Chain A
């Protein structure tokens, strides 16, 4: 039981997908200007990533491995995730058109969000079972969402700050992301404690 907890906590804090694994920076920088959109993007990614991890595990374990087709892993994972993203997009377009417009190009980009492919592949290399895969995917996505929301909160405040002109916008956002990453280094070693 505690090992599951450690998987989730480890994925959220210690090995935060953005701050420690440095994955998924594209949406992290792109969709963090406003809190609401950040939360929306986080929710969409959580949905896709959890489903993606489950589906890719199923495909890997019951389709690819029995048939010695491991060399198709990357290809089939991408196809699966792309389909799930499309599905999510259709649902969001129906239920929240504004969120759809705001997520804009980022929603299809979840497909190429390296985190969304990276986490299922990590699952394989870490030899997670089905439940662990799901939890690891979910934890990573929650970590991504957390990073996105915290970052959006700071950026909303920074918008009104007297930042020197050459550092406005992306420059100061990158510096902030770096300092946040530094702060998350404080969690280092927590997952190794037994």
Chain B
């Protein structure tokens, strides 16, 4: 009995020492994973995930504090990519964080705008230009469609408009995969 205890104790001490040394020797600084997650997120900075922006959400995912299905603008595709990167299973978008919408940009009705600058302060990517008491305008190219400028506007002059298809953004459609036989022509 004593021998057994001695053997196990010896083993524990030796292995513990080895592990302790390794932990010190191979300490990991920083977390390159956050960058990889952040690269997948759509950078709308909309905060729908419950975090202050895409980067904080990425940090939370890396730490395991957040699920990967909290980003509505990224949609199912974004979740698939995160699942792939992290080796987790796909989950459909969590409803409490919102639904996937067509990509839109904010439009300010310039006749109604009073120039209060509240939307400018709200915009996370500085895509709204204007100064106090001057009309404001959204630079559509830089607008991420986060909708953060909608609530602060005191006169409700901002609306979201879906981006229309143009010659540059037109896409070839998925070829119809014919599962049913082609309708037979009347002879």
Contacts and interface: CB of A to CB of B under 8 A. Distances in A.
A–B touch (CB < 8 A): the answer is: yes
27 contacts: A31-B87, A34-B84, A37-B87, A67-B7, A69-B3, A76-B8, A76-B11, A79-B8, A80-B11, A80-B15, A83-B19, A86-B22, A87-B22, A90-B19, A90-B22, A90-B26, A91-B22, A93-B26, A97-B31, A97-B32, A97-B33, A98-B32, A101-B85, A102-B86, A102-B87, A104-B86, A104-B87
Interface string A76-97: 1001100100110011011001
Contacts of B84: 34
A74 B26 CA distance: 29
Interface of B: 3-4, 7-8, 11-12, 15, 18-19, 22-23, 26-28, 31-33, 36, 84-88
Contact of B23 (A80, A90, A98): A90
A94 B28 contact: yes
A61 to B, nearest CB: 13
B7 A69 contact: yes
A101 B22 contact: no
B7 A86 contact: no
A30 to B, nearest CB: 9
A63 interface: yes
A101 B4 contact: no
Size category of the binding interface on chain A: 20 to 34
A83 B17 CA distance: 10
A91 B18 CA distance: 13
A155 interface: no
Q: Secondary structure at chain B's binding surface: helix, strand, loop or mixed?
A: helix
Interface of A: 31, 33-34, 37, 59, 63-64, 67, 69, 72, 75-76, 79-80, 83, 86-87, 90-91, 93-94, 97-98, 101-104
Contacts of A37: 87
B115 to A, nearest CB: 48
A97 B31 CA distance: 8
Contacts of A67: 3-4, 7
Contact of B86 (A79, A90, A93, A101): A101
B175 to A, nearest CB: 15
Nearest to B89: A169
B61 to A, nearest CB: 11
B33 A98 contact: yes
A170 B88 CA distance: 14
B7 A76 contact: yes
